[in-house]
Amino acid sequence: MKQLKNFFRILFFLFCTVREVSAQPGANPPTEYFDSVEVSLLTCSPHEEIYSLYGHSALRWHDLHQQGVHQGEDIAFNWGVFNFEGAFFVIRFVFGLTDYELGLIPYDKFCAYYKYWNSSVTEQVLNLSNAEKQKLREYLVENLLPENRVYRYNFFYDNCSTRPRNIIERCLTGKLEYAQREEYTPTYREMVGFSTRNHPWARFGNDILLGVKADLKTDLRQQEFLPENLMFDFDHAKIYANGVYSPLVKERRIAVPPGVQIIERDFPLSPMECACLLLALSILISVIELKRKKTLVLWDVILMTMQGLAGCVLFVMLFSQHPATSTNLQILLLNPVPFFFLPAVIRRKPTRWQNILFVMIILFFVGGILQRYAEGMYIVALCLLIRACVHYHLNKKSS
């Protein structure tokens, strides 16, 4: 039932975006036209689908004229349009080569989509002069050109939140000053972790892929990759022009009130619980092996295969264009090295694998000083350490 429900929701989303992405604003209007134009930042709260856990931002261009050529122009400019069915989408996303584009959606359909998901939409009407609105319109039309509308998406640095912020800042004639938040310097990992707090496996996946750079403290501008942070900063921002400070946001409205979000866990056990089960199983198997004075090769094969497969993913991410994944110290433990020793282990031939594993585990624990690891990773390292100790003890006994 859930899959069927999601299927119709996706169809609804495609109807609201793909069919409208070719829409274009009207021709350049006269100066007096901008007297009745409102420009707003739209901030959409997260809903429980994995791709929406971080919220969304867009710009609204609302023509309040009741008659004439530009009657009723009410459009949401959305920098979050992408083609999931494009060639090698998943591979391109992993390597940071994902292309998003600017699309136009009628405002009522934009709101209807988020209402369907029980997400709220907050509208912040911006305090712009006619000249600034005109400049903004020129920038938007320029962005909609075929050669400009597609951009290289980056989750932290160039996304649906930073794009509208940047274009608004470009059109302002005065100086925009943000109010600094005291003692608010979260890391990228902490902000992403908060967004996925109700989805432990999504948080675990992020923490596995994120490296050292994700644990550096962020400043206000870096924090604005999250739509809710940008909304907060806009609420407290002021424009300084001609010796006078004016608020950036002149009015705040709730375009779509929040609905009820039902949190559904995709897997009954958390990553920590799975790691603890792995530890318990490792201890049990180790006790049996010590009593039998013989290692269980199948258990070695399972652990080495899991370690190697996870390591292949982290190794690939070293070549990604996502800056926050390029230096990931978890690769000290999870890497493809076990695959080189797996044939010898299966044939029970002498190997240096356990010595190498000892070194990897030690380096992994040292690396934990610089990087925050994914939930349960220390327990996984402990399982492998127990494995290495059992092999060392049994090899010593047999020699």
Q: Has this prediction a pTM greater than 0.85?
A: yes
At 139 the pLDDT is 94
pLDDT score of 21: 39
pLDDT in tens, the chain (399 residues): 444 344 434 434 444 444 343 344 555 677 777 888 999 999 999 987 777 889 999 999 999 876 555 556 899 999 988 765 555 555 666 666 778 899 999 999 999 999 999 999 999 999 999 999 999 999 999 999 999 999 988 889 999 999 999 999 999 999 999 998 888 999 999 999 999 998 999 999 999 999 999 999 999 999 999 999 999 999 999 999 988 999 999 999 999 999 988 877 778 899 999 999 999 999 999 999 999 999 999 999 999 999 999 999 999 888 877 788 889 999 999 999 999 999 999 998 888 999 999 999 999 999 999 999 999 999 999 999 999 999 988 887 766
What strand order describes the sheet that includes 175-177? 175-177, 238-241, 244-247
According to the model, what pLDDT value does residue 5 have? Answer: 44
| pLDDT the model gives residue 11 | 39
**Position of tokens 């900063």?**
233
